[in-house]
């Protein structure tokens, strides 16, 4: 049932580029434009929170070791209004996420695009969208 | 902890055995694990009996409560609309109905992170409250709550107390829990350039700035407007500001890395730029550096101030009970704007959201805000206002779904002349949700590390 719901939402979301983001702080201050990043990994948890939700994934690092990464997205309220529910992104889902790493060098990054393995878009919550041209 | 006879009806709280043990553990660790010790939202019913006042605004469709504690608000819907599903809130979801002269409120959709009190009494997310409010006389409300939570208690139980009207109060103020805590600890530092009182206490506003008339003219209303019983326009409902990226720069600007672009909302001066004094231009540039990202009060989840509250990309609700216009922001802050012609607060009283007084000029609601504390930034890129700021806002309904909003800011410490921004507030169907911010704020620590590293570098170079 859950996966059916996810498919339904995905269909509904085709045509949406990115979520409008209610940022509460400067992404440009926190994240580094010189550290673009593309990672593929398995979802361990989605933290359903405001002002920003977080997707945690496990990635196989260069040395073969498992690395945990935290990706910041738009807030839970924006996701809710788009039809998402807490339980929709199940653990184990493989995602490919693009974005920028935090300036402090931690395994934290801001998501600009999130897709499934087959390239279908999940959603993205970057602030780089221009609200004036939404 | 102060002593008390207790408000629980008929015997001890009927905890399940595991929960009784957890309650004792909570009490032992309360100085750190009480959600209020870290300024988390108290939830319902605790917010109703904390030592901070609140104000009730009643309309036929809903009853809004604004709390002094951290600018929290709750809305009790009495219009029959159903509770949302699949989402929980620190303050729960409240749906009310009248049974004779008693307001009966179902409160559901709680999270499991709030307590009932400092003694560590707690609940799970399965909590269901039924509140009963009955006027005992003109100035007291009998307040009773039935508490049901099958995950934590063996049976429902109830509390009962009296809520007393503050007969000599004509407004409530602000107690910003987290801001107070961070200012006390030094985590949020005083900015001498803008905070009240600052180095120059007596700020003279040039005479020609008073009642400034901008060259710019607002669009005219189209067709008949919905009106209140007193003939004034009905502004009520849920609105999303079409702020055009103002939260990332008031002037026209392009996307810059992760900072969104904006179409520019400055309508006066006509060139669309902020008329900053020389020092302010230098300061604004400085605030754009990554190490200053930490200094933006909204990064700390403090309230956004005026006019920024009106264009942070987050919905707001307008409630219009007799004598007031109340603005509730989804990002947990509010402004209760009295329309009774009262004077502003004494100058030394300074607030994050200021002191807003409203009046009608024809079909336009004019709101005059003073007594701001100068702590707010105008946006994420650090555009500046100080404690000398005065804001005159104009809310003009254009049609059933649009309010034209403009704000003229006069700040003689920062600018060479007053300036005006304008944009639309667009009606939306959705009720407000709740943005808990400080409670789950993971970004601040990163921003602090960036700041601390920059400071350490500066120190080692000098």
- What confidence score (pLDDT) does residue A10 get? 45
How far apart are alpha carbons B46 and B42 in whole angstroms? 6
- What confidence score (pLDDT) does residue B266 get? 97
What is the mean pLDDT of the segment spanning B246-258?
Answer: 93
Q: What confidence tens digit (pLDDT) does each residue in B387-408 have?
A: 999 999 999 999 999 999 999 9
Task: Note whether A125 contacts B: Cβ–Cβ < 8 A.
Answer: no
How far apart are alpha carbons B146 and B156 in whole angstroms? 7
The half-sphere exposure of A74 on its side-chain side, counting CA atoms within 13 A, is: 25
Select the residue of A25, A100, A104 nearest B298 (Cβ to Cβ): A25
**Chain-chain contact of B258 with A24 (C-beta, under 8 angstroms):** no
- B182–chain A nearest CA distance, Å: 17
The half-sphere exposure of B429 on its side-chain side, counting CA atoms within 13 A, is: 2
Instruction: Judge whether residue A23 has pLDDT over 90.
Output: no
Mutate to test the interface with A, among B260, B288, B430 (most CBs of A within 10 A): B260
Helical H segments across B169-249, by residue range: 177-185
Better pLDDT: A76 or B63: B63
- What confidence score (pLDDT) does residue B209 get? 85
Strands B402-410 and B419-428: what pairing? antiparallel
CA distances from B380 to B172, B251, B262 (A): 29, 13, 13
Q: pLDDT > 90: what percent of chain B?
A: 89
Q: pLDDT > 90: what percent of chain A?
A: 43
- What confidence score (pLDDT) does residue A124 get? 47
**Chain-chain contact of B258 with A27 (C-beta, under 8 angstroms):** yes
**Chain-chain contact of A80 with B299 (C-beta, under 8 angstroms):** no
Q: What is the ipTM of this complex?
A: 0.88
- What confidence score (pLDDT) does residue A129 get? 41
How far apart are alpha carbons B207 and B426 in whole angstroms? 36
- What confidence score (pLDDT) does residue B207 get? 84
E strands, B249-332, are 266-268, 316-319, 324-329
Helical H segments across B105-156, by residue range: none
Select the residue of B86, B248, B292 nearest A86 (Cβ to Cβ): B86
Nearest by Cα to B187 from B39, B305, B373, B70 = B39
Instruction: Judge whether residue A127 has pLDDT over 70.
Output: no
Q: What confidence tens digit (pLDDT) does each residue in B93-113 have?
A: 999 999 999 999 999 999 999
Q: What confidence tens digit (pLDDT) does each residue in B347-401 have?
A: 999 999 999 999 999 999 999 999 999 999 999 999 999 999 999 999 999 999 9
Share in percent of chain B as helix, strand, coil (round to 5):
20, 30, 50
- What confidence score (pLDDT) does residue B217 get? 76
Task: Note whether A75 contacts B: Cβ–Cβ < 8 A.
Answer: yes
- What confidence score (pLDDT) does residue A123 get? 65
**Chain-chain contact of A25 with B258 (C-beta, under 8 angstroms):** no
């Amino acid at each position: 049932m859950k996966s059916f719901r996810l498919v339904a939402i995905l269909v509904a979301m085709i045509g949406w580029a990115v979520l409008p983001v209610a940022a509460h702080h400067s992404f440009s201050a926190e994240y580094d434009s010189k550290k673009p990043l593309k990672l593929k990994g398995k979802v361990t948890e989605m933290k359903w929170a405001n002002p920003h939700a977080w997707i945690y994934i496990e990635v196989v690092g260069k040395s073969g070791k498992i690395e945990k990464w935290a990706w910041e997205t738009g807030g839970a309220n924006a996701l809710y209004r788009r039809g998402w529910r807490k339980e929709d992104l199940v653990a184990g889902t493989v995602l490919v996420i693009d974005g920028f790493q935090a300036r402090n060098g931690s395994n934290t990054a801001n998501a600009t695009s999130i897709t499934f393995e087959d390239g279908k878009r999940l959603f993205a919550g970057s602030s780089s969208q221009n609200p004036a041209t939404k | 902890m102060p002593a008390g006879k207790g408000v629980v009806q008929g015997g001890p709280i009927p905890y399940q055995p595991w929960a009784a043990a957890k309650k004792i553990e909570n009490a032992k660790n309360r100085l750190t694990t009480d959600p209020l010790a870290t300024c988390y939202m108290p939830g319902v019913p605790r917010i109703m009996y904390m030592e901070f006042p609140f104000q009730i605004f009643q309309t036929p469709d809903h009853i809004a409560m604004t709390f002094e504690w951290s600018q929290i608000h709750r809305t009790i819907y009495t219009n029959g609309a159903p509770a949302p599903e699949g989402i929980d809130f620190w303050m729960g979801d409240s749906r009310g109905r009248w049974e004779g002269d008693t307001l009966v409120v179902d409160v559901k959709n709680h999270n499991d992170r709030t307590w009932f009190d400092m003694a560590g009494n707690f609940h799970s997310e399965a909590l269901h409250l039924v509140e009963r409010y009955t006027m005992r006389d003109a100035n007291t409300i009998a307040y009773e709550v039935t508490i049901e939570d099958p995950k934590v208690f063996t049976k429902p139980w109830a509390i009962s107390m009296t809520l007393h009207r503050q007969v000599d109060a004509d407004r409530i103020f602000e107690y910003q829990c987290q801001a107070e805590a961070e200012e006390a600890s030094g985590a949020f530092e005083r900015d001498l350039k803008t905070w009240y009182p600052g180095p120059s206490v007596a700020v003279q506003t040039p005479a020609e700035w008073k009642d400034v008339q901008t060259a710019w003219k607002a669009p005219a209303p189209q067709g008949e407007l919905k009106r209140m019983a007193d003939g004034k326009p009905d502004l009520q409902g849920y609105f999303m500001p079409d702020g055009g990226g103002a939260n990332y720069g008031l002037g026209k600007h392009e996307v810059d890395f992760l900072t969104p672009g904006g179409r520019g909302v400055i309508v006066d001066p006509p060139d669309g730029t902020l008329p900053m004094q020389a020092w302010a231009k230098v300061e604004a540039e400085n605030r754009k550096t990554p190490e200053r990202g930490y200094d933006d009060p909204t990064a700390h989840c403090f309230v956004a101030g005026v006019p920024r509250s009106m264009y942070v990309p987050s919905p707001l609700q307008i409630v219009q009970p007799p004598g007031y216009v109340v603005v509730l922001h989804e990002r947990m802050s509010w402004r209760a704007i009295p329309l009774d012609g009262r004077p502003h607060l004494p100058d030394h009283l300074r607030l994050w959201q200021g002191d807003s007084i409203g009046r009608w000029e024809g079909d336009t609601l004019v709101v005059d805000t003073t007594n701001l504390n100068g702590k707010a930034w105008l946006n994420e890129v650090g555009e500046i206002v100080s404690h000398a700021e005065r804001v005159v806002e104009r809310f003009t309904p254009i049609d059933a779904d649009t309010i034209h909003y403009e704000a003229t800011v006069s700040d003689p410490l920062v600018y060479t002349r007053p300036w005006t921004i304008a944009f639309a507030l667009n009606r939306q169907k959705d009720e407000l949700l709740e943005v808990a911010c400080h409670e789950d704020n993971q970004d601040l620590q990163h921003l602090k590390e960036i700041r601390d590293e920059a400071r350490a570098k500066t120190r080692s170079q000098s």
